């Protein structure tokens, strides 16, 4: 009851006129940030952070967090319309969102993405509101071994529960791990596979690779097909939005499952990227229409968006309660809090009670404002599909190049983008899945670092990965998921052989 009263006071603070203005401004800026490939939520928040130093901390954090909510919403727009993930966690959305747009269902895909994003984010805020002390205490138990177990669980679930050729999934994962290993070894400081190049010392930036693999390769494939833009007749009306909302209760189980996965990954933290891939993989495995995933299934949009937004929101919990950022954006916000003289941690809920609950209230309001704003602008973004692809392709390439360049202000990144564009084109022609490569590239170095830190801490004793119930459960679950698919396939074949005999 005390928390409820504090939350009501927080709403009173967040609903002041100037804070509502900052909220709407932040959401609009965030949508732009999410749409532009290469910029991203963390970069957008970091760029605008200095502008908030003259503001009071509550208004400043509302503005910056609203930029984050807007970026979460905006990342789905280019993913669905152009197959270019505006944000790292929007990669899984392209798998079914883009085919839906090509089929003339851009409005349905965008509505589903925005609504599921809102649902996931609200679930994350409810988690922060209701169980902050318990979850924060649980997150303290995670060390290097537990982090590695979470990453292993993600990799194993993708292999074992994937419906593509598992050998090709394994090859794609190995390529991703190889790319992730390029650059400076964070444990020893040695250079690996840089071949004397100073440009490769920092490794391959994730967004450069993604822009090339998905954006440039798709342009090459479309050019090969004769510059035909299959989604150019897409349009949307209010009836499309209402129809999509009416169909969403049919996918209640998918939404709940993705929310749980996202909140788990956000708090532990596994991250929004891993959450989106895992949410998509689980939805594909348990859906009755799992075989149609990748061809334009609405569940393939709902699952990753819900999981990613639940994770992105839940990641703020350890930042506020423990001072441990659960994501890159949370790390930027953490720096802002310290600059404003606020020390994140358990005492923040006591010493700065008004600030904390004002921020939590703004999370509810910011996500609601984001949903309304993006739905009102859906016709604008869907109208882009009517432009002939021959006119859009050069513009997309220019935006991709600008996005790749602005990451590190390096011409070398533009060349890398083009190289990975060709690699993505070849892999698509040979039916190799891109998602495992991207997943391994993002989480490979983190998994390696967690594994090596765990081994160093245990003196090289491998039993550290079964040293307690938490890490042991995660490891066992990972191997169960790894062999779930092959065993299920084997049982299905055996049943298929016995049925004719009977």
DSSP, collapsed to helix, strand or coil, labels residue 56 as coil
Nearest one of 73, 15, 36, 171 to 378, comparing CA atoms: 73
Per-residue pLDDT of the chain (502 residues; tens, 9 = 90+): 566 777 787 787 778 888 888 888 888 888 777 766 545 566 667 666 667 767 777 888 888 888 887 877 777 777 787 777 766 677 788 888 888 888 878 788 888 888 898 899 898 888 888 876 565 556 556 778 887 887 787 788 777 766 567 788 888 888 888 888 888 777 777 888 877 777 777 778 766 787 788 778 777 876 776 544 444 344 456 777 788 888 888 888 889 999 998 888 877 655 677 788 888 888 888 877 777 787 888 888 898 889 888 888 887 877 777 666 656 677 667 767 776 777 666 667 667 777 778 888 888 888 888 888 888 876 665 455 456 667 767 777 787 787 677 767 778 888 888 898 898 888 888 888 777 787 788 778 878 888 888 888 888 888 888 888 878 888 888 888 788 767 777 777 777 655 454 4
> What is the radius of gyration, based on Cα positions, of the chain?
22
CA distances from 220 to 73, 238, 267, 402, 403 (A): 27, 34, 39, 18, 18
Count of alpha carbons within 13 angstroms of residue 108, beta-carbon side? 23
Helix or strand run (H / E) with residue 192: strand 191-192
The per-residue DSSP string of 10-29 comes to HHHHHTSHHHHHHHHHHHHH
- pTM value is 0.64
């Amino acid at each position: 009851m005390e928390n409820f009263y504090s939350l009501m006071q927080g709403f009173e603070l967040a609903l002041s006129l100037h804070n509502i203005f900052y909220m709407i401004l932040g959401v609009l800026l965030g949508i732009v940030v999410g749409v532009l490939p290469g910029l991203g939520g963390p970069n957008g928040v970091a760029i605008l952070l200095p502008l908030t130093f003259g503001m009071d901390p509550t208004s400043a954090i509302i503005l910056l967090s609203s930029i984050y909510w807007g970026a979460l919403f905006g990342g789905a727009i280019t993913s669905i319309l152009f197959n270019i993930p505006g944000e790292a966690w929007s990669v899984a959305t392209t798998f079914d969102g883009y085919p839906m747009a090509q089929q003339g269902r851009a409005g349905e895909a965008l509505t589903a993405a925005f609504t599921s994003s809102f649902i996931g984010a609200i679930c994350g805020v409810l988690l922060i509101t209701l169980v902050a002390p318990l979850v924060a205490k649980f997150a303290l138990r995670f060390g290097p071994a537990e982090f590695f177990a979470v990453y292993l669980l993600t990799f194993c679930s993708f292999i074992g529960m994937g419906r593509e050729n598992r050998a090709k999934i394994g090859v794609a994962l190995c390529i991703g791990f190889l790319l992730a290993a390029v650059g400076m070894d964070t444990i020893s400081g040695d250079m690996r596979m840089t071949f004397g190049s100073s440009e490769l010392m920092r490794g391959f930036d994730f967004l450069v690779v993604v822009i090339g693999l998905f954006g440039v390769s798709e342009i090459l494939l479309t050019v090969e097909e004769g510059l035909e833009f299959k989604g150019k007749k897409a349009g949307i009306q209010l009836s499309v939005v209402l129809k999509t909302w009416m169909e969403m209760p049919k996918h209640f189980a998918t939404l709940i499952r993705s929310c749980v996965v996202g909140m788990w990954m956000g708090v532990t933290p596994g991250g929004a990227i891993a959450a989106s891939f895992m949410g998509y993989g689980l939805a594909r495995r348990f859906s009755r229409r799992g075989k149609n995933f990748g061809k334009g299934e609405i569940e393939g949009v709902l699952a990753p968006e819900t999981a990613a937004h639940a994770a992105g929101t839940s990641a703020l919990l350890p930042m506020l309660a423990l001072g441990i950022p659960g994501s890159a954006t949370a790390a930027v916000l953490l720096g802002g809090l310290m600059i404003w003289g606020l020390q994140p941690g358990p005492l923040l809920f006591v010493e700065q009670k008004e600030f904390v609950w004002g921020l939590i209230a703004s999370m509810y309001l910011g996500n609601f404002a984001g949903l309304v704003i993006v739905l009102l602008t859906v016709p604008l973004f869907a109208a882009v599909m009517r432009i002939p692809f021959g006119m859009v392709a050069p513009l997309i390439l220019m935006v991709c190049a600008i996005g790749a360049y602005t990451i590190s202000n390096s011409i070398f990144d533009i060349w890398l983008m083009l190289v990975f564009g060709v690699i993505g084109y070849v892999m698509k022609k040979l039916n190799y899945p891109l998602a495992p490569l991207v997943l391994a590239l993002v989480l490979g170095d983190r998994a390696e670092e967690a594994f090596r830190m765990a081994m160093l801490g245990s003196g090289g004793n491998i039993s550290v990965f079964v040293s307690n119930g938490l890490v042991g459960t995660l490891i066992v679950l990972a191997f169960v998921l790894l062999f779930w698919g092959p065993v299920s396939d084997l049982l299905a074949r055996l049943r298929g052989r016995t049925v004719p005999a009977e």
